[in-house]
Structure 1
Amino acid sequence: MLSEPTYIPARIVASEIEAHFRKHQLAARNDTDSAVASAPDHTIIEAVIDVAFWASMRREEGHSPNISMALLQPYQSDKPLIFGEKLRLTPQNLIKLAPAVEQPGIHLGVWLDGDDLFIWGTTHSVPAVCFVLEVIEPGLLVIKHRRVDGFGKYVNVAVLQGDQIKVIDEDSMGIADCPQLIKSLEAMPLPAYMGESFNVLVQLAASMRQHKRGGLVFIVPQGTEQWRESIVQPVKYPVVPAYTAINDLMRTKCDASDKLEWRESLLEAIDLIGGFTAVDGATIITDKYDLLAFGAKAARAEHSQPVGEIIMTEPVADGRARRVHPAQNGGSRHLAAAQFVSDQHDAIALVASQDGQFTVFAWSPQVGLVHAHRIDSLLL
């Protein structure tokens, strides 16, 4: 019998998460012939979150657990590893198994058997829109699902940190109270919710966060030179000729037999650029993903004014747009990003902080200000 959950946010958010999965699994079944996961009941979701939270607060031999759990039955997975005896889903069992599943892409398989939840084994593969819960650090949980085409980062549904609940607002992305920001939001590299299309810049954002050194990327229009007015000259590390591997791969058509190799090559090219973002200064790429320079120093354009105010949003339910001074948004990278976009209205800036925050900057022509959209809740 399922234990009575004691982590209150689990109960608060479970029904909303259930509705999300039912909606998207139904849509996926109508749109694809691929296997689609079964929708979990809110009581199961609540129980899984509760156990994961309390497990996250424990330590085993001095280590906090990093665990990924997927709600599915063994037959829904490709080549699962099945335990000889299934284990009841408890914080203690999760802690004991955590060291074996710390590597990315390995999930503990969890499913209901009778009146209780059990860990039946591990798997590398999960069906489309499968409920996955990842323990990131003590008290920090992310509920997500696999994209329909299986390629790229999983889609985040909700982030729970202690008593804070952030449910991703897939409809208005947190700007329902300020519809004037829709144009700048459309210019930003945000993940498609059902995930049929691969988003290079979202994958780059994930790569930037991975090295944990912080990073700054300026995305400028292909074939233009105006951006140089906002960069200290000469550029310290220009890339000549431009590194065009991502653009070349995106224009390549491949059949099914070559698709896996193509995907691996694309991810390698993205990670290569992501690595350069760890170098002090800005990495500059075009809107076609060509790498032009790294380690560049941003400077206010000669005839521009210092940025005094920006609009801040976050893609969570009940989010509110706020007008703040750019210094309230972060440190020197955030200030540089806000100034660059204020000077170069057709550019976009990405900022990864060392603490894991990630913000996208774009110009909002309707509001006449830089729009800063914090999206780390989409990238965990």
Structure 2
Amino acid sequence: MIGKSTYQAAQKVAKTVEQHFADYYAAARERGEQKLAPVPSAQVIETIIDTAFWASLRHEEGQSPKISLVFLPPEMAGLPLLFKQRLPFKPDVLAKLSPGVERPGIHLGVWYEDDELYIWGTTRDIKYFCFVVDVSEPGLLVVKHRRKKGMGKFANVVVLKGDQVKVVDEESASLPDCPEVLTSLLGFSSPSSWTSSVNVLVQLAVSMRAHGHGGSLLVVPADTDEWQESIIQPITYAVQPHFSGLSDLMQQSKEEQQQSLWQRENQRVIDNIAGLTAVDGATVISDKYELLAFGAKIGRRRGHTPVEQIIMTEPVVNEGAVIVHPSQSGGTRHLSAAQFVHDQRNTLALIASQDGRFTIFTWSPCEGMVHAHRIDALLL
């Protein structure tokens, strides 16, 4: 029955999520947007999250479910695969279906009739701002929505892990020194920007996190070699000439970038570069997206002091900024990245941990120190 749940986090967050989607829907209507996905009620949200949570704790053939649920009637889905008979929306049914729908881009469609939710089939094409619940691992759920025109990664709204609830703070995008890659992940970039250079970093971050080995990616200015003063020489895996595959792709026309062939090649190159971050040391690319080196060892720049403190934030409601020693942001990768940005203030460092944490290090002119933006809640 809709609204009957036992997972307390679902009850806690349902009203907040309902308001989020209602606000987005109203704003889209004012802009003249048409054919928007329906806004789920708090009761529907609570039930879908509750059922997804209990399904995530089950096993099917020894594997935990990985599924994506969308709240949408079948007539609003593009090219739906319809089941002859509706299936009950229950944890055991979701677990049974999960092996067949776990690949990226496949969504199980959920709708309701007479106060009962049911599963009608699957789809790859969903509406703008459609309510999505992604089951990532046991006890870990992400509420998200599809961006306008479907470009890029879905925008996360809430992350639930057991009894922990993280509501994404959209106001973070308006803070001073907020890097463009974070603004984009929060969903405030224009749709066209998902084929722009800033979102190369979003794609690289997602791919780095996906390989699960942890890694470091340094983004340095293309017009100077000053960054090498913070790298222990010689660099074992320097790339000469610089690999320009990604840079060349980004210089192609917007029309070419809309083609599926371009998008597949772009993803292939992104994954190749992100894969190199698994090698011990840092991968270095220019701000024009040329690959310069990988496996590079970071060292303190001659004449510069050790970094003693950084400001750390997470774009989550009720999580304020804290000033800490850089070792509190993570392990060795984080400490060396903080030192690198401290010494090379026109650079950017993206750090993935093996446990799934992801941090962007930038220099904050406002605070006069390194700023660590923890963004793993946005990458799930």
Give 2:179's aligned residue: 186
Indicate how the Cα distance of structure 1 residues 157 and 3 shifts in structure 2: closer, same or farther if over 3 A, else same.
closer
For residue 72 of structure 1, report the CA deviation from its aligned partner: 0.8
For residue 104 of structure 1, report the CA deviation from its aligned partner: 1.3
Give the Cα separation in 1 of the matches to 2:145 and 2:258: 25
Give the Cα separation in 1 of the matches to 2:251 and 2:153: 21
Q: Deviations over 1:172-231 (max 9, x none)?
A: 25x9xxx6xx12x23555425155121111111000011100010111112111100000
Indicate how the Cα distance of structure 1 residues 26 and 290 shifts in structure 2: closer, same or farther if over 3 A, else same.
farther
- Deviates most, 229-238 or 15-24: 15-24
For residue 170 of structure 1, report the CA deviation from its aligned partner: 0.9
The one-letter code sitting in structure 2 at the alignment partner of 1:55 is: A
Superposed counterparts of 1:209-358, under 5 Å: 209-255=209-255, 259-358=259-358
- Contact 1:148/1:194 (<8 A) preserved: no
- Contact 2:208/2:214 (<8 A) preserved: yes
Give 1:134's aligned residue: 134
- 1:168 matches 2:162: no
Instruction: Report 1 or 2 for greater relative contact order, CA contacts < 8 Å, sequence distance ≥ 6.
Output: 1
Give the Cα separation in 1 of the matches to 2:252 and 2:63: 44
- Deviates most, 218-227 or 208-217: 218-227
The one-letter code sitting in structure 1 at the alignment partner of 2:97 is: L
TM-score, L = length of structure 1: 0.93
Indicate how the Cα distance of structure 1 residues 351 and 343 shifts in structure 2: closer, same or farther if over 3 A, else same.
same
The count of aligned residue pairs is: 373
The one-letter code sitting in structure 2 at the alignment partner of 1:263 is: Q
Give 2:156's aligned residue: 156
RMSD: 1.9
For residue 251 of structure 1, report the CA deviation from its aligned partner: 2.4
Give the Cα separation in 2 of the matches to 1:145 and 1:12: 19
The answer for unaligned runs of 5 or more in structure 2 is none
Describe the SS at the equivalent of 1:295.
Answer: strand
Give the Cα separation in 1 of the matches to 2:291 and 2:257: 29
Indicate how the Cα distance of structure 1 residues 194 and 187 shifts in structure 2: closer, same or farther if over 3 A, else same.
closer
- Contact 1:37/1:129 (<8 A) preserved: yes
- Contact 2:170/2:186 (<8 A) preserved: no
Give the Cα separation in 1 of the matches to 2:81 and 2:225: 54
- Contact 2:231/2:299 (<8 A) preserved: yes
Indicate how the Cα distance of structure 1 residues 372 and 258 shifts in structure 2: closer, same or farther if over 3 A, else same.
closer
Give the Cα separation in 1 of the matches to 2:368 and 2:255: 45
- Contact 1:28/1:148 (<8 A) preserved: no
TM-score, L = length of structure 2: 0.93
Describe the SS at the equivalent of 1:100.
Answer: helix
Give the Cα separation in 2 of the matches to 1:194 and 1:110: 28
Give the Cα separation in 2 of the matches to 1:3 and 1:90: 13
For residue 342 of structure 1, report the CA deviation from its aligned partner: 0.5
Superposed counterparts of 1:62-211, under 5 Å: 62-172=62-172, 182-183=176-177, 185-186=178-179, 188-190=181-183, 191-194=185-188, 196=191, 197-198=193-194, 199-211=199-211
For residue 124 of structure 1, report the CA deviation from its aligned partner: 1.4
